[in-house]
A and B are shown apart, each in its own frame.
Chain A
Amino acid sequence: MAKTDFDIPQLEEYTETPALEVGTMAHSKPFVAKVQFQEPLGYPGELPEDWQKQAIDAMGDLLGKYRSLQVYLDSCVKCGACTDKCHYYLGTKDPKNMPVGRQDLLRKVYRRYFTFAGKYFPALVGAKDLTKDVLDDWYSYFHQCSQCRRCSVFCPYGIDTAEISMAAREIMARIGVGQKYCNEIIGKVFKIGNNLGLPEAALADTLEGLEEDVEDETGVAVKYPLDQKGADILLVTPSADFFAEPHVDGLIGYGKVFHEAGVSWTLSSKASEAANFGMFIGSYENMRRISMRIREAALELGVKRIIFGECGHAWRVAYSFLNTLAGPFDFLDPKYPVPQHILEFTWEEIQKGTLNIDKSANDDMVLTYHDSCNVARASRMGTEPGGQFMIPRNVIKAVCNNFVDMAPETIHENTFCCGGGGGLLTDDLMELRVKGAKPRMEALSHVIEEHGVTNMAAMCAICKSQFTKVLPYYGMSMDMIVSVHQLVSNAIVLTGQHTDEDQVSTGDEQVAA
């Protein structure tokens, strides 16, 4: 197990609500972005002298632009319904990690400067001046929210702390206090095209390598095309899919599904990233700029449809925002929704019977499935509400014999965050990530003990990376995590694939890699 300078929480049989302990996470904060990571995004590099005024002005600006912010700051009745719903509170006991505790950091300043009661009776309503201490608290605790929206499910007014965190991060970025991890990555997307900074040549290389691997293994020439003009489908996928385990096994799976479905498809070097960290920092402008690459790539390549690979927040931006940010997509084939999720595509092919599936290829595993927050609570798949829960499970069950769900209060819209979403997947927040994973780890250990679960499937690049990193802290194996399309890939028998017994074991090799 990794060495740590913090205590790793003890897993309980069921997640209990802890008594609060003030300030346990006050020290946690990510690195601040230096000038060179701020400026490409249109933000100043350091705190100006009149930062209070600028911050209040920024707050006023956002209040006028976002109804959510205005209504949520006004409406909270402090009923406490959300207080035990955040995985970061459950894992850290810090009351400022209760959703309402987090909101109040911004709300007390809002009240002080924007409401009658706060201006004239600050002590009565808990209004506070914006001081350096308050700003420090903002920086710390608004970077302890993974914007998972679990709180918004339970709040009687649907108050979504993610909206508050996004606004707070935007206000801070505007006064020169941006977060390094997110802003550096967005800079890379603008400059190179993806979060990992993989240039076109490296991408082409990787994809060629994949083609060789798949052909060696199966004897079938499955293509992984890049920048192919005139292809029908543009696949936009998180750049983690290009190289890291278990992500890349998912990408192999998408290619196999497309191959068997007989459609023409391509990746784009310009839009070689599905992730959109503009959402995490609450910046409409940056989120829009990142989204526009996808529109441009679709136009340049002349595709008819856009399909997204496995990524949680990317699917939120794609499903819920893409039409707004980069639409209208009237130049694409109107027969298909824009965009589609790869799981929608695969599930349809499975139903049509185009895929030849050998479920026994996954018999070495007993699977459970982690609903990613942004897919579960901020988007949909298919035509029915809740399709985002059923379609991934349907696909998993169609390619695996052994599947069990975790406890109902930890799946579907009640799902617990992996602990690393919302722009927090950085090593400088390791303590937070480990502690925030506690509720999910508890639900997982429960099904391991009760049902002999061996692996957990996920369909989000951040979840996969986070679990890979965090599982060992809790004494579990990092390669328990598999991509949903990795399971599909294992089970697909390609047309013309050589059928000797060895091939059945490819599942093991990939999982163990």
Chain B
Amino acid sequence: MSFLTITFAVLFYSATILLIVGLARRIRMYVKTPAPLKIPTTPAPTTSGGVVLRMFREVVFFESLFKATKWTWLFGWVFHMALFAVLFRHLRYFQEPVWEPVIWVSPLFKYLAFAMIIGLLGLWARRIFVDRVRYISAPSDHLMLALLLGIGVSGAMTTFVAHTDVVAVKSFFRHLMMFDFSTMPNLPEDPFMVAHLALVAALMIIFPISKLLHAPGVFFSPTRNQVDNPREQRHIAGWARKLEQ
């Protein structure tokens, strides 16, 4: 095995562990931290079914953001939807045999790389040119966009310009997943592919320690996930109940 292959094997195992353990711990903390008071932003749904719908609209359409600013919504929504589509298409690098729907959409979805890149550029432009957004940006906010752009551009380069040996890349990851090191092939040493994978590993590592926590966070937001029924049902947190004794 080449040095590069060994490095990336170690890197991806570590990144995966950090991502999963980090996210699991964070989510466990969100689950365990009580919301002592009913604080849904009203008007709010009065049933749990209604809350599921509200959450669905937030996650799939970014409803609140749409109400707030059309430009950010446009770029943000295009970026995220393209991202999810690209990730869906990526299943083909990890599955054997590949799930039918992934095969169907693959030829089309590869163009969504451009949507993702345009979305990211739009968001970055806003961050640079709108004085209010520039004011609230830390270096990490710019770097996060740079990182995702790097992933998007390097990926698109291998897809559209400098093709890589996808079969070898896939085989490498299949072997990692099966913990089978005996017949593991070497990773192709194409610069774009290497950059792509290195940046992806970086993204996985920072995910649970950065603002990317908004992805799990949105589901735990009490202003969005609570049912508006405080008069009908008494809501009380464990620590608050102790005050009653």
Question: How far apart sit A63 and B213, CA to CA, in the bound complex (Å)?
Answer: 16
Q: Are A74 and B65 in contact (CB under 8 A)?
A: no
Q: Are B37 and A75 in contact (CB under 8 A)?
A: no
Q: Are B69 and A81 in contact (CB under 8 A)?
A: yes
- Of A71, A117, A125, which contacts B220 at CB under 8 A? A71
Does A413 reach chain B (CB closer than 8 Å)? yes
Question: How far apart sit A85 and B239, CA to CA, in the bound complex (Å)?
Answer: 34
- Of B26, B41, B135, B140, which contacts A125 at CB under 8 A? B140
- A residues within 8 A CB of B126? 80
Quick one: closest B residue to A76, CB to CB? B211
Q: Are A101 and B136 in contact (CB under 8 A)?
A: yes
Chain A contact patch, size range = 35 or more
Question: How far apart sit A388 and B62, CA to CA, in the bound complex (Å)?
Answer: 25
Chain B's nearest CB lies how many Å from the CB of A321? 6
Does B39 reach chain A (CB closer than 8 Å)? yes
Question: How far apart sit A74 and B39, CA to CA, in the bound complex (Å)?
Answer: 18
Q: Are A319 and B67 in contact (CB under 8 A)?
A: no
Q: Are A157 and B214 in contact (CB under 8 A)?
A: yes
27 contacts between A and B (CB under 8 A): A66-B33, A66-B34, A66-B36, A67-B220, A77-B214, A78-B138, A78-B141, A79-B72, A79-B133, A81-B69, A85-B68, A104-B136, A116-B209, A124-B139, A125-B138, A152-B41, A154-B65, A154-B67, A158-B222, A284-B240, A285-B243, A323-B230, A323-B231, A323-B235, A328-B234, A378-B41, A413-B43
Chain B contact patch, size range = 35 or more
- A residues within 8 A CB of B131? 19-20
Q: Are B46 and A385 in contact (CB under 8 A)?
A: yes
Q: Are A75 and B231 in contact (CB under 8 A)?
A: no
Chain B's nearest CB lies how many Å from the CB of A35? 25
The proximity string for B residues 203-243 relative to A, scoring 1 for CB distances below 8 Å and 0 otherwise, is 00010011101100110111110001011111111011001
- B residues within 8 A CB of A74? 26, 211, 213-214, 217
Q: Are A65 and B33 in contact (CB under 8 A)?
A: yes
Seed contacts A98-B136, A153-B67, A324-B234; 4 additional CB < 8 Å A-B pairs: A67-B35, A68-B35, A74-B217, A323-B234
Chain A's nearest CB lies how many Å from the CB of B241? 10
> Which residues of B does A touch, CB under 8 Å?
26, 29-30, 33-39, 41-46, 58, 62, 64-65, 67-69, 72, 76, 126-127, 130-133, 135-141, 143, 206, 209-211, 213-214, 217-218, 220-224, 228, 230-237, 239-240, 243
Question: How far apart sit A100 and B136, CA to CA, in the bound complex (Å)?
Answer: 7
Q: A117-B140, A117-B210 are in contact. Are A79 and B65 (CB under 8 A)?
A: yes
Q: Are A124 and B138 in contact (CB under 8 A)?
A: yes
Question: How far apart sit A330 and B233, CA to CA, in the bound complex (Å)?
Answer: 12
Question: How far apart sit A98 and B29, CA to CA, in the bound complex (Å)?
Answer: 29
Q: A67-B35, A124-B140 are in contact. Are A155 and B64 (CB under 8 A)?
A: yes
Question: How far apart sit A163 and B221, CA to CA, in the bound complex (Å)?
Answer: 12
Quick one: closest B residue to A74, CB to CB? B213
Q: Are B65 and A98 in contact (CB under 8 A)?
A: no
- Of B141, B143, B235, B239, which contacts A324 at CB under 8 A? B235
Quick one: closest A residue to B73, CB to CB? A81
Does A123 reach chain B (CB closer than 8 Å)? yes
- Of A19, A65, A100, A337, which contacts B36 at CB under 8 A? A65
Chain A's nearest CB lies how many Å from the CB of B74? 12
Q: Are B223 and A158 in contact (CB under 8 A)?
A: yes
The listed residue with most A CB atoms (<10 A of its CB), out of B45, B141, B209, is B209
Chain A's nearest CB lies how many Å from the CB of B210? 6
